Structure 1
Amino acid sequence: MKLIIQIPCYNEAEVLPTTLRNLPRQIEGVDCVEVLVIDDGSTDNTAEVARTAGADHIVRLKRHAGLAEAFKVGLDACLRLGADIIVNTDADEQYKPEDIPTLIAPILRGEAELVIGDRGVAAQPNFSPIKRRLQTWGSQVVSQAAGIPIPDATSGFRAMTREVALRTNVLSHYSYTLETLIQAGNHRFAIASVPVRTNPPRRPSRLMRGLWDYLLNSGVTIVRAYTMYRPLRVFTTIGLGLIALGLVPLVRFLIFYFQGRGSGNVQSLILGAVLLIVGFQTILIGLVADLINFNRKLLEEILYRERLQTNAHSTTEPRPAASSHDQRPPLRGV
């Protein structure tokens, strides 16, 4: 069984040697542990440092594409390199590498297919009080959207099986954490959370440019992902809400009408009719979106089968010697 630890990096030359040095290279239950570094268009010498520090595989993006794209490219590379389990962690060693065996343990026992490292966000000392509340609230929202309890939805410290990686499609350009959890929940994967430890932050977050930027991007990601997988429920809920609002002025008009004062309250009739029409149209949009959802599932199945065939070929081809530190499988966008 092969485990690949993937590390998306952007200008991490200063901290990367320590991170790579502390990664476990032998784990009970795993035959082979390898490290993949995804250089997300760094302007420093991140790739060279990674090679010198002992990374087994390095993928370099030609330009800075963002965390979500780097994560996606990393998954593709891990699959082509024959990974059975993939662990994603941060380059700045936010998560303690000693917890990787704990992270993959539920997968090795056959209890889970995707494991999320739970930082204990509600009591995380490295977070401000408002960030703790937002992280807790956001995890609850994602749990509802995914249909499973997830105490730390934004954690990037996670392990997944090859099957989960094959089924994962990252569409967001901001972050992969929320979208992929909703996706995994709707695919009915077995998902578990395990407590993990963290190190004090070495630098400010590069993903968050500010609180409102984080809230806006995270909110859009959650709404988009939930609507993609539950379109009928979303549009039906909105449509029924509009119909309920439309009934209020309509009932008001009828009351005045039967009292002989309907001519002075025509605006209630117009408003109620407009809301009812829009509500019914929204439900019809939900029906159309649900039909499109079936088409999306077919496309995902085709992509899944294509990945299976591609990765089956790549894992049977001869590989370079294990001592090489510059193995770069051909990938899109690199």
Structure 2
Amino acid sequence: MKLVVQIPCLNEEETLPLVLESIPREIPGIDEIVVLVIDDGCSDRTVEIARQHGVTEFVHHARNQGLGRSFHDGVVRALELGADIVVNTDGDNQYPQDQITNLVQPIVHGKADIVIADRQVHLVEHFSWAKKKLQKLGSRVVNRAAGTELPDAASGFRAYSRESLMVLNTITRFSYCMETIIQAGNKRLRIESIPVTTNAKTRESRLFKSTPEHVVKSGAAIVRSSLMYKPYAVFAWLTAIFGLLGLIPFVRYFVLWLGDREGGHVQSLLLGSLLLIIAFMSLMLGVISDLIRTNRILIEINLEHTKKARFGKSGTEMMRDQTSVPQFDAPMAAAKASGTARP
């Protein structure tokens, strides 16, 4: 099997050597290991240092494109290289690359399509109390949307099988972490998690400037992905909520009307009508969104076939083809061995 370890980088000249030196050179079940560096608009010596450490495969961005796009472009290049498994780690050395061996084993043995490293957030010393709680809450929300039970949904230290990457499609430029889990969960891919211990903090995160920004962007990614795969559930809830709220003013109006209270109480009718109109619009949006979801599924099936046609065979399949003898040549080979072949 062929493993590609991809490393998205943005000015990581100081920490990249630590990452490259800690990547295993031999892994049970893996025949070839390739390191792929994604240069996301680096302005320092990151690329030069990577070459000095023997890296030969790169993806270059003229300017910073974001983590989501870097992951996408790295995966495309890894598939072009014939990767059977793609491991994503970070250039800041926050993840323990020596655990890549354990990370890929469930995929090597056919027990998982995706393996996510659990950073054991409660043990990370440089995480504040608030960040630990938000990480836990975020994982709970993602698990609810994806139908999974992952302890650390925000972890970017992951291994993907070739088959899983054929059906996953990232859209957001912020971060692929939440989006790919929700997609994988709704596409019934097998996801496992293994505990790891992170390395010491080397720098501040460049993915977001503040915790509120991280919460807003992550929340937006979760909502967007949820709407893509379960729009009917979202709009059904909105329809039910506004429908019930719309009935309350009507009930109030009829109670007052039956009691012969003075006043027309038209405001109750207006408010109730407005809320019921919103409920009806939510219902219609749900129907339209579900039709769009059906169309998206058909497009994704077509995209999967396109990927398989574009990227061809994996490293394992190519090795198998090279070592196997075609069936139509087998009788001739046997005849030559016995000396009975005709000239």
**What letter is aligned with 1:164?**
S
Q: Counterparts in 2 of 1:18-33, with a 5 A limit?
A: 18-33=18-33
User: Is residue 188 of structure 2 the alignment partner of residue 188 of structure 1?
Assistant: yes
Partners of 1:50 and 1:167 lie apart in 2 by: 31
Secondary structure of 1:205's match?
coil
Secondary structure of 2:35's match?
strand
Q: Rg: which structure is higher?
A: 2
Partners of 2:232 and 2:88 lie apart in 1 by: 33
Q: 1:104 to 1:313 in 2, by over 3 A?
A: closer
What does residue 331 of structure 2 align with? none
Partners of 2:57 and 2:205 lie apart in 1 by: 25
Partners of 1:77 and 1:168 lie apart in 2 by: 15
What does residue 232 of structure 2 align with? 232
**What letter is aligned with 1:307?**
K
Unpaired runs of 5+ residues, structure 1, are 318-334
Q: Output the TM-score relative to the length of structure 2.
A: 0.90
Partners of 2:112 and 2:136 lie apart in 1 by: 23
Partners of 1:161 and 1:234 lie apart in 2 by: 31
What does residue 50 of structure 2 align with? 50
What does residue 270 of structure 1 align with? 270
Report how many aligned residue pairs link the two structures: 317
Q: What per-residue deviation string (whole Å, max 9, x for no partner) do you get for residues 117-168 of structure 1?
A: 0011133222110000000000000000001111101100000100111112
| RMSD of aligned alpha carbons | 1.5
Partners of 2:262 and 2:93 lie apart in 1 by: 70
The alpha carbon displacement at 1:314 in A equals 9.3
Percent identity over the alignment is 45
Deviates more, 1:307-316 or 1:189-198: 307-316
What does residue 147 of structure 1 align with? 147
Any conservation in 2 of the 1:90–1:156 contact (CA below 8 Å)?
A: yes
What does residue 203 of structure 1 align with? 203
What does residue 213 of structure 1 align with? 213
Secondary structure of 1:58's match?
strand
User: Is residue 84 of structure 2 the alignment partner of residue 80 of structure 1?
Assistant: no
Partners of 2:96 and 2:288 lie apart in 1 by: 47
Q: What per-residue deviation string (whole Å, max 9, x for no partner) do you get for residues 212-269 of structure 1?
A: 1111111111111101110111111111110011111111111101111274321111
Partners of 2:282 and 2:54 lie apart in 1 by: 55
The alpha carbon displacement at 1:109 in A equals 2.2
Partners of 1:221 and 1:171 lie apart in 2 by: 9
Unpaired runs of 5+ residues, structure 2, are 319-343
Any conservation in 2 of the 1:47–1:60 contact (CA below 8 Å)?
A: no
Partners of 2:9 and 2:262 lie apart in 1 by: 68
**What letter is aligned with 1:271?**
L
The alpha carbon displacement at 1:56 in A equals 3.5
The alpha carbon displacement at 1:52 in A equals 1.1
The alpha carbon displacement at 1:284 in A equals 1.2
